[in-house]
């Protein structure tokens, strides 16, 4: 059967086509209108907004660290300065794979592989736009090697920076401290805006305690960058005019110390190969003239960055070169306290200037058989207070100790600053210890241990037992003896100078409570005995003071490190070096017009008069103009 084809309706098809065309035209017009409207908004309405954003995409703000203030000694000689160097830096926000980047840098020996985790932590802890310093001083060879590989390391570059440098290095390390790389704890503690672009901060010494003065304020500058964030040169003056105004960094202030570099160098040489400390003060101002701890270290290693292995070697050194013995080392003061104790005994009536004791080489408490031995086995014979100080007779002080009493000893030695912080403008100071009955009750849990025994007073009278003092405290005590009780707070910083104007702010001496003695004649007698220690006929340090062109006063001391049994004799040759007595000496000069007070301790030096006294004498000679370098 034939199929009939439908008749084509041309009219309907035309009508459908026209409708579709109209709809398409309307949609096209609407879309075009939307595009035009959007262009009008972008180009006219929001022109300033997007122009600013466009500028922001090509302009990078870079922090400019301030120039750290310089540090000078009392004569204007540079102790800490800034030297130009190239540093390898990484900007976290410009590095996609920080871990891989650090490993590739380590493979090129540009960084230490053991430090990768530290760098990763630093990159996460601070703002991502802030550079992380990977190496603080690049050699020319390292710069050349990296320059060839630079395209492989987006976000990593070497930058010219100023690096802290200490010309006298080891001689000043413990006095002024050092700067080190910012740690994660530093970043949390410090003002992020002020430390933008900064890689180092003061860690110890003056560098730390005067950080706020030395650091300065960060600035910033605007850079034109390409799509990869790398800086490109500005070739158009019009483009330069469109950049915002840069902010120049504010330099840190300069600091002038009271230290004398000549004394620092001399004391460092004198303690070379030993463990110990030297502190010298101006008795009438509290200015610290020398502060040396030995062994020492090179602070420049911290400024340029040391490896974990290098730091571990310093930390693991049994001689503890990083430990500041001058300020933090607490030692039994030994017989150096005898002049202060003599004043306490005179004030309390425990003795007088004419009382004599018979020293037979030992002392025994009534009803006991224990012998408290004198340093001189055969004894000193009949001695009065003057003789006891001059010859350092232990037995005399053993005998009067009970009448003075431990609480009076605590009180009077405390007046000289022992057992108390001196308040030096440096962190980390040790308080030392002068025991008392109250201290012992508070320090021990067992009732029997809390009780104070007469025998403990006996050994405290020669600076042993629980008693501890720092070399700084002993120097301050020597200063108080020199001034007959006038005391000043020890300080290192003498002035702060504005780096831009040159205006200096002087640090005024700060008085501390005086040592008040009812009878001024007591000062004369005790100081006369200290003078005879060094320049008298039987003084323990007469060999050191003999023939000096000026008069001086001093007191030697030894501090026992290991106990010796009653039936044994102290034999230095049979003891290991680290078990021998510490050698101590304090002194001041000139006698009638004191200008310098010195305290010296030599660990395991055995003899205060034979080992420590010559060091103190050389320091006084140098400062008073009688040293080997006086004519220079």
Dihedral Cα 453, 458, 462, 467, nearest 10 deg: 0
- At residue 210, the pLDDT reads 95
Given a cut of 80, whether residue 52 has pLDDT beyond it is no
pLDDT score of 505: 93
Residue 565: pLDDT over 60: no
Over residues 447-479, the pLDDT tens digits come to: 888 999 999 999 999 999 999 999 999 999 999
pLDDT at 240 over 80: no
State mean pLDDT over 209-219: 90
- The boundaries of the domain holding residue 139 are 61-252
Q: Is residue 236 part of a domain?
A: yes
Residue 205 has pLDDT above 80, yes or no: yes
Is residue 548 domain-shared with residue 574, that is, in the same domain?
Answer: yes
Domain assignment present for 182:
yes
Residue carrying structure tokens 């108390």: 420
In sequence order, the 6+-apart residues with CB closer than 8 A to the CB of 205 are 173, 174, 175, 176, 177, 178, 324, 426
* Pair 459, 519 in one domain: yes
How large is the average pLDDT for residues 243-249?
68
**Is the pLDDT confidence value at 591 over 60?**
yes
Q: What DSSP designation does 109 have?
A: T
pLDDT in tens, 55-87: 555 666 777 888 999 999 999 999 999 988 887
pLDDT by residue (tens digit) across 126-182? Answer: 667 677 878 777 778 888 888 887 888 888 888 788 889 999 999 999 999 999 888
**pLDDT level of residue 195 (50, 70, 90 thresholds):** confident
Q: Which residues of 90-116 are buried (b: 16+ CB within 10 A; e: fewer)?
A: bbbebbeebeebbebbbeeebbbeebb
Averaged pLDDT, 362-374:
91
- Report which of 536, 547, 545 is spatially closest to residue 587, judged by C-alpha positions: 545
Same-domain pairing of 201 and 315: no
pLDDT for 574 = 59
Beta-bridged to residue 81, according to DSSP, are 165
The answer to the question of residue 41 being in a domain is: no
Specify whether 219 is located in the same domain as 330: no
For residues 223 and 271, membership in a common domain is answered with: no
Considering the domain architecture, whether residues 285 and 434 belong to the same structural domain is answered as: yes
Task: Give the phi and the psi of residue 492 in degrees, each rounded to 5.
Answer: -95, -35
Within a domain: residue 36?
no
CB within 8 Å of 348: residues ≥ 6 apart: 403, 404, 405, 408
210 & 311 share domain: no
Kindly indicate the confidence band of residue 629, based on its pLDDT and cuts at 50, 70 and 90.
very low
Choose the weakest-confidence range: 11-20, 199-208, 253-262, 344-353: 11-20
591 by DSSP, 3-state: which? coil
Q: Is the peptide bond before 590 cis (omega within 30 degrees of 0)?
A: yes
User: 535 and 558 in one domain?
Assistant: yes
- Please give the residue that has the higher pLDDT: either 466 or 6: 466
For a pLDDT cut of 70, what percent of the chain falls above it? 88
pLDDT at 334 over 80: yes
Whole-number percent of the chain with pLDDT over 90: 56
Look at residue 632 in the predicted model and tell me its pLDDT.
37
For residue 232, pLDDT over 60 is answered with no
Above 70 in pLDDT, residue 353? yes
d(C-alpha 218, C-alpha 204), whole Å: 22
- Say which CATH number the domain at 340 has: 3.40.710.10
* Domain-located, residue 325: yes
pTM over 0.85: no
Q: Give the pLDDT of residue 142.
A: 81
Average pLDDT rounded to a whole number, residues 213-239: 66
Q: How confident is the model at residue 236 (pLDDT cuts 50, 70, 90)?
A: low
If asked whether residues 527 and 427 sit together in one domain, one would say: yes
Residue 216: give its domain's CATH number.
Answer: 3.90.1310.10
- Per-residue model confidence as pLDDT tens digits over 13-34: 777 777 788 888 888 888 888 8
Model confidence at 399, pLDDT cuts 50, 70, 90, reads very high
Q: Based on the domain organization, do 239 and 296 belong to the same domain?
A: no
> pLDDT tens digit string along 407-449?
999 999 999 999 999 999 998 999 999 999 999 999 998 888 8
User: Coil, strand or helix: which one is 129?
Assistant: coil
If you search the block for the tokens 């030695």, which residue do you land on?
413
Give whole-number Cα distances, 101 to 119, 154, 156, 503, in Å.
Answer: 11, 9, 9, 47
Q: What is the pLDDT of residue 588?
A: 97
What is the reported pLDDT for 486?
97
Q: Is residue 42 part of a domain?
A: no
Indicate if 618 belongs to the active site: no
Using 50, 70 and 90 to split pLDDT, how confident is the model at 631?
very low
Check pLDDT > 90 for residue 332: yes
Residue 54 included in any domain:
no
* Catalytic site residue from 123, 335, 461, 606: 335
**Tokens representing 209?**
């305690």
The pLDDT score that the predictor gives to residue 53 is: 53
Residue carrying structure tokens 């840098």? 105
Segment 275-321, tens digit of pLDDT? 999 999 999 999 999 999 999 999 999 888 777 788 888 889 999 99
Average pLDDT of 242-268?
87
Q: What is the pLDDT of residues 486-509, one digit of tens each?
A: 999 999 999 999 999 999 999 999
Domain boundary (252, 280, 307) is at 252
Which of 186, 218, 252 represents a domain boundary (last residue)?
Answer: 252
- pLDDT band at residue 207 using 50, 70 and 90 as cut-offs: very high
- The pLDDT, as a whole number, for residue 630 is 45
Q: 572-575, long-range: CB within 8 Å, 24+ apart, which pairs?
A: 572/606
Mean pLDDT of 30-54: 73
pLDDT > 90? residue 216: no
At 2 the pLDDT is: 53
* Of 218, 252, 286, the domain-final residue: 252
**Mean confidence (pLDDT) of the chain:** 86
Is residue 567 in a domain?
A: yes
**Residue 215, token pair as written in the block:** 């650091």
- Identify the weakest region by mean pLDDT among 237-241, 297-301, 523-527: 237-241
* Three-class secondary structure of residue 357 per DSSP: strand
276 and 142 in one domain? no
Tokens of 125: 């802890």
Angle between helices 471-482 and 520-535 (to 10 degrees): 120
349 pLDDT above the threshold of 80 = yes
Distance of alpha carbon 618 from the chain centroid: 26
CA distance 429 to 159: 38
What's the number of domains the chain is made of?
A: 2
Q: Round to whole Å and give the CA distance between 572 and 7.
A: 134
Higher pLDDT, 5 or 333: 333
For residues 183 and 317, membership in a common domain is answered with no
């Amino acid at each position: 059967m034939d199929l009939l084809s439908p008749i084509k309706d041309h009219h309907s098809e035309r009508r459908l086509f026209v409708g579709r065309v109209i709809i398409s035209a309307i949609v096209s017009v609407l879309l075009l209108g939307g595009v035009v409207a959007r262009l009008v908004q972008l180009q006219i309405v929001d022109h300033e907004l997007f122009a600013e954003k466009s500028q922001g995409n090509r302009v990078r703000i870079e922090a400019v660290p301030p120039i750290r203030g310089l540090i000078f000694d009392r004569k204007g000689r540079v102790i800490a300065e800034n030297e130009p160097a190239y540093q390898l830096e990484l900007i976290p926000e410009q590095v996609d794979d920080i871990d891989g980047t650090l490993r590739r840098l380590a493979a090129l020996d540009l960084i230490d592989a053991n430090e990768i985790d530290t760098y990763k932590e630093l990159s996460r802890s601070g703002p991502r736009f802030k550079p992380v310093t990977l190496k603080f001083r690049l050699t020319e060879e390292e710069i050349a090697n990296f320059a060839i590989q630079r395209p492989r390391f987006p976000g990593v570059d070497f930058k010219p920076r100023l690096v802290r440098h200490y010309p006298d290095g080891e001689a000043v390390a413990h006095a002024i401290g050092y700067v080190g790389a910012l740690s994660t704890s530093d970043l949390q503690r410090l003002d992020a805006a002020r430390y933008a672009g900064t890689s180092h901060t003061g860690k110890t010494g003056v560098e730390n305690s005067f950080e706020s003065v030395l650091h300065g304020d960060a600035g910033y500058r605007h850079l034109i960058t390409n799509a990869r964030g790398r800086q490109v040169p500005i070739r158009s003056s019009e483009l330069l005019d469109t950049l915002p105004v840069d902010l120049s960094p504010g330099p840190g202030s300069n600091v002038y110390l009271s230290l004398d570099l000549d004394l620092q160098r001399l004391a460092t040489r004198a303690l070379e190969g030993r463990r110990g400390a030297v502190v010298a003060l101006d008795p009438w101002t509290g200015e610290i003239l020398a502060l040396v701890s030995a062994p020492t270290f090179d602070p420049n290693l911290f400024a340029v960055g040391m490896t974990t292995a290098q730091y571990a070697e310093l930390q693991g050194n049994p001689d503890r070169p990083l430990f500041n013995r001058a300020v933090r080392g607490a030692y039994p003061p030994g017989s150096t306290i005898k002049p202060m104790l003599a004043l306490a005994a005179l004030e309390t009536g425990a003795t007088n200037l004419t009382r004599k004791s018979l020293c037979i080489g030992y002392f025994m408490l009534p009803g006991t058989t224990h012998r408290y031995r004198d340093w001189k086995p055969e004894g000193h014979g009949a001695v009065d207070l003057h003789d006891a100080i001059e010859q350092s007779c232990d037995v005399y002080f053993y005998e009067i100790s009970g009448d003075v009493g431990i609480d009076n000893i605590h009180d009077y030695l405390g007046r000289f600053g022992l057992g108390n912080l001196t308040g030096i403008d440096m962190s980390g100071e040790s308080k030392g210890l002068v025991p008392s009955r109250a201290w012992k009750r508070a320090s021990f849990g067992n009732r029997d241990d809390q009780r104070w025994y007469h025998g403990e007073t006996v050994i405290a009278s020669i600076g042993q037992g629980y008693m501890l003092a720092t070399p700084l405290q002993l120097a301050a005590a020597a200063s108080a003896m020199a001034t007959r009780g006038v005391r000043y707070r020890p300080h290192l910083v003498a002035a702060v100078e504005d780096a831009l104007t040159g205006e200096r702010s002087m640090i005024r001496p700060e008085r501390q409570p005086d040592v008040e003695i009812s009878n001024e004649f007591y000062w004369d007698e005790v100081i006369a005995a200290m003078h005879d220690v060094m320049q008298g006929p039987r003084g323990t340090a007469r060999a050191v003071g003999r023939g000096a062109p000026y008069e001086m006063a001093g007191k030697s001391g030894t501090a026992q490190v290991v106990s010796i049994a009653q039936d044994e004799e102290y034999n230095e040759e049979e003891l290991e070096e680290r078990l021998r007595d510490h050698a101590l000496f304090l002194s001041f000069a000139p006698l009638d017009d004191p200008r310098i007070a010195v305290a010296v301790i030599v660990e395991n030096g055995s003899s205060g008069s034979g080992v420590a006294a010559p060091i103190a004498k050389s320091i006084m000679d140098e400062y008073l103009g009688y040293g080997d370098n006086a004519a220079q």
